[in-house]
């Protein structure tokens, strides 16, 4: 079946502009995650959606970052007033029913964001 | 603070050699995953281990979870150029849902 898809694959923007990144999870996956991968760093957790529960936003680095999810489908990550330090690859992952606490997440190809 | 420390950070070897990559922590994890990531792509799940002492094999790759579930290793036998990539370990806590990633080991296998 289809995997996680993300768009755009690349985004170049100017400092101060807003950007919106999109994620389509694997069909039927109720859990959706956003991570950020900066050069030379491990993946950093940003936000987690599980079904209709309130999202866990504890990883968002500032109030310029926000995310929404429509039901159990598409999610958008919005970064307002972008800064150069926001340049990174933004990765989306989804997870199906959690077997035995394995927490197996499947990642999309990412959106590479460059802020000039 | 990086919960998972991976070593080595970089590894360049020739085709046919064996190698081991380590993933260490002072924390106990309920599960641990290994992913491989190639340039311009997202991480691809290789294996999940959940039981202390567990060993899993995937063709030439052998994964081991430490007895105390704090560390893991990945051993590759007779490496091939197709093994080139960034190897990431990630751990989950029993009460958590986010993956905690190490910084990765960048492997280059030359013919």
Write down all domains in chain A, each with its CATH number in brackets.
Answer: 16-99 (2.60.40.10)
- Residue B1, pLDDT above cutoff 70: no
Segment B12-50, tens digit of pLDDT: 999 999 999 999 999 999 999 999 999 999 999 999 999
Is B76 inside a domain boundary? yes
Q: Which residues of B touch chain A, with CB atoms under 8 Å apart? A: 2, 4, 30-31, 33, 35, 40-45, 48, 50, 88, 90, 92, 94, 97-104
Is B27 inside a domain boundary? yes
Is B5 inside a domain boundary? no
Residues B7, B27: Cα–Cα separation, whole Å? 17
Range of the domain at B91: 14-110
- Residue A1, pLDDT above cutoff 80: no
Residues A108, A71: Cα–Cα separation, whole Å? 19
In this structure, what CATH number is given to the domain that contains residue B58? 2.60.40.10
- Residue of A100 and B107 predicted with greater confidence: B107
Is B8 inside a domain boundary? no
- Residue of A41 and B38 predicted with greater confidence: B38
Residues B72, B63: Cα–Cα separation, whole Å? 7
Mutate to test the interface with A, among B98, B101, B104 (most CBs of A within 10 A): B98
Residues A52, B104: Cα–Cα separation, whole Å? 33
Whole-Å CA distances, A55 to A7, A11, A68, A70: 21, 25, 9, 12
Residues B27, B110: Cα–Cα separation, whole Å? 35
Q: What is the DSSP string of A43-60?
A: EEEEEEEETTSPPB-TT-
Q: What percent of chain B has pLDDT over 70?
A: 98
Distance of residue B105 Cα from the nearest chain A Cα, in angstroms: 10
How many domains is chain B partitioned into structurally?
1
The CA-CA-CA angle for residues B15, B16, B18, to 5°, reads: 110
User: Which of A48, A109, A112 is the closest to B97 by Cβ?
Assistant: A48
Which chain A residues contact residue B33 at CB under 8 A? 103-105
Is B86 inside a domain boundary? yes
If you measure CA to CA, which chain A residue comes closest to B3?
A: A42
Mean pLDDT of chain B: 95
Report yes or no: A1 and A26 within 8 Å, Cβ to Cβ: yes
Segment A43-100, tens digit of pLDDT: 999 999 998 888 999 999 999 999 999 888 899 999 999 999 999 999 999 998 877 7
What confidence score (pLDDT) does residue A45 get? 96
CB contact under 8 A, A107 and B101: no
Which chain A residues contact residue B41 at CB under 8 A? 109-110
Is B32 inside a domain boundary? yes
Is B6 inside a domain boundary? no
- Residue B83, pLDDT above cutoff 70: yes
Segment A2-12, tens digit of pLDDT: 899 999 999 99
CB atoms within 10 A of CB B29: 29
Distance of residue A40 Cα from the nearest chain B Cα, in angstroms: 7
Residues A76, A6: Cα–Cα separation, whole Å? 10
Secondary structure letter of residue B83 according to DSSP: G
Q: What average pLDDT score do residues B78-90 get?
A: 97
Distance of residue A20 Cα from the nearest chain B Cα, in angstroms: 19
């Amino acid at each position: 079946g289809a995997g996680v898809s993300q768009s755009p694959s690349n985004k170049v923007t100017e400092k101060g502009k807003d950007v919106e990144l999109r994620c389509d999870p694997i069909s039927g996956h109720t859990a959706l995650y956003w991570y950020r991968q900066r050069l030379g760093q491990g993946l950093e957790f940003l936000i987690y959606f599980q079904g209709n529960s309130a999202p866990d936003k504890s990883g968002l680095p500032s109030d310029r970052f926000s995310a929404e999810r429509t039901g159990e489908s598409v999610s958008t990550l919005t970064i307002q007033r972008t800064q150069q330090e926001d340049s990174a690859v933004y990765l989306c992952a989804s997870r199906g029913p959690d077997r035995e606490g394995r927490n197996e997440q499947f990642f999309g190809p990412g959106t590479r964001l460059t802020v000039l | 603070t990086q919960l998972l420390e991976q070593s080595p950070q970089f590894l360049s070897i020739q085709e046919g050699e064996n190698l081991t990559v380590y993933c260490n922590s002072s924390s106990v994890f309920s599960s641990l995953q290994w992913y491989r990531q190639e340039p311009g792509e997202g991480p691809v799940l290789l294996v999940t281990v959940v039981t202390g002492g567990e060993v899993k094999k995937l063709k030439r790759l052998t994964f081991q979870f430490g007895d105390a579930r704090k560390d893991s290793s990945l051993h590759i036998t007779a490496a091939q150029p197709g093994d080139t990539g960034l190897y990431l370990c990630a751990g989950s806590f029993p009460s958590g849902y986010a993956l905690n990633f190490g910084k990765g080991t960048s492997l280059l296998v030359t013919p």
